[in-house]
Chains A and B, each alone.
Chain A
Amino acid sequence: GAVVSQHPSWVICKSGTSVKIECRSLDFQATTMFWYRQFPKQSLMLMATSNEGSKATYEQGVEKDKFLINHASLTLSTLTVTSAHPEDSSFYICSQGKGAPVEQFFGPGTRLTVL
């Protein structure tokens, strides 16, 4: 199988602060990483796609300066929510791609609450 971890599992922060979420693949090297957000009782919406060593590709409507993605290695990607506001409160889920065709393996998610 393929195991993906996220840290932290939940975080509460004050409005205006920045929060970093880590996504790690524990037993494989991922060619591509994906970041999603999920609002309560809704589906997953893709925010961005990144490949190791290159800039992330953001989906339309996602602010790249607000949601900073760093894909530092084949096993680690980070999402930083800068100057967080209450409307950024959401469930953030990463996935890592493996194989051809690519299959995505999802992390357990991070619940962000901005007060």
Chain B
Amino acid sequence: AQSVTQLDSQVPVFEEAPVELRCNYSSSVSVYLFWYVQYPNQGLQLLLKYLSGSTLVKGINGFEAEFNKSQTSFHLRKPSVHISDTAEYFCAVSSAQGGSEKLVFGKGTKLTVNP
């Protein structure tokens, strides 16, 4: 089974500042990793995903994440945030073996970008 820990429930930052949202996972098998964004009263939108290959993954809206297998982490970063990045961000993991398609989500990090 997999689990996901998002270390920060809330992250306030000022506009144009860099941000890092932390995500650690636990799994006995190899995994796929995802970051999703959720705006109020909406579904989830995929920001980026790691399936294999390069450990640095670039996504939409200027976000990127780095898969670190030794530290079992998949932190999300953006060098300069905008007001419109204010949202809830979820890290998720699924098993890369056995055909399991289930996603296990972290509890989410609320990013608030202040002017």
A interface vs B, CB < 8 Å? Answer: 4, 6, 32, 34, 42-46, 49, 91, 93, 95, 97, 101-109, 111
Partner of B44 from the list A45, A46, A106 (CB cut-off 8 Å) is A106
CA distance A95 to B36 in the complex (A): 13
A26 to chain B, nearest CB (A): 13
In contact, A43 and B106 (Cβ under 8 angstroms): yes
| CB 8 Å contact bits of B66-84 with A (1 = contact, 0 = none) | 0000000000000000000
CA distance A106 to B36 in the complex (A): 10
- Point out the residues of chain A lying under 8 angstroms from B51, CB to CB: 101
Say what secondary structure dominates the interface of chain A: strand
With contacts A34-B102, A101-B96, A107-B43 known, what are 8 further pairs, Cβ within 8 A? Answer: A42-B107, A42-B108, A43-B90, A44-B90, A45-B105, A46-B104, A49-B102, A106-B44
Contacting residues of chain B (27-54) with chain A, CB-CB under 8 angstroms: 32, 36, 41-46, 49, 51
Point out which of A93, A95, A97, A103 has the most chain B C-beta atoms below 10 A from its C-beta. A103
Number of B residues contacting the other chain (C-beta, 8 Å)? Answer: 21
B interface vs A, CB < 8 Å? Answer: 32, 36, 41-46, 49, 51, 90, 94, 96, 101-108
In contact, B44 and A97 (Cβ under 8 angstroms): no
A113 to chain B, nearest CB (A): 13
- Point out the residues of chain B lying under 8 angstroms from A108, CB to CB: 42-43
- Point out the residues of chain A lying under 8 angstroms from B108, CB to CB: 42-43
CA distance A42 to B104 in the complex (A): 13
CA distance A93 to B41 in the complex (A): 11
Partner of A97 from the list B32, B49, B90, B101 (CB cut-off 8 Å) is B101
